[in-house]
Amino acid sequence: MCERMEEMAGERFPLIGETFPSMEVQTTHGVMNLPDDYKGKWLVFFSHPADFTPVCTTEFVAFQKRYDKFRELNCELIGLSIDQVFSHIKWVEWINEKLGIEIEFPVIADDTGIVSKKLGLIHPGKGTNTVRAVFIVDPQGVIRAILYYPQELGRNMDEILRMVRGLQIVDGEGVAMPANWPENELVGDSVIIPPAKTVEDAKRRLEEYENYDWWFCYRKL
């Protein structure tokens, strides 16, 4: 029992704020080293349950149709499932031939399951299939956001794009992002000013920014 607990502890998946684990992976674009090969870029790492499945096919098409928008944000995409590389290649060919969509980003072949176990991607009670997970990694290799979806629910790629864009604004402007930004019900496309740290700062904010109170100030970008 103790040995099993130690084994499970060793498989703990990384958390927000931690560095994405270093690993060498086989992909449809050849061998790659993560996160080093994407140093200086944002990265959306996502897993899918299996090749040649309907929901996963819709997700790959949706990611590809937005690939230019991701790249405009200096962000790359890389997929993963517990399939062999020849399966990925054939599936990507099928998508191109049948749907007219060329998948340009690499897909990791994790047929050994080593990467999936390291990242906590194995779906409980679903055999060796992986969950629909998303790790958003910044240019320094730090994990900034994690999303987990069940097999039955396809992801919203526009939300993932929004998250990358929002995190970049957070880093560049030192602000926070309201719910549903840039279409928030209270402040529209404005961003939130971080909390005041002194009494003087709280008073000054009422004069400097639009606000509902000193603790709820906002401004346009």
Active-site position among 2, 56, 75, 217: 56
56 is catalytic: yes
Annotate 99-138 with DSSP letters as a single string. Answer: H-----S-EEE-TT-HHHHHHT-BPTTSTTPBPEEEEEE-
Neighbours of 57 (CB within 10 A): 19
Retrieve residue 79's tokens: 């997929």
Q: What is the CA radius of gyration of the chain?
A: 20
- The tokens for 169 are 């604004």
Distances (CA, A) of 176 to 44, 109, 190, 220: 21, 37, 10, 12
β-bridge partners, 134: 46, 147
Pairing of the two strands 210-213 and 191-192: unpaired
Residues identified as active-site: 56
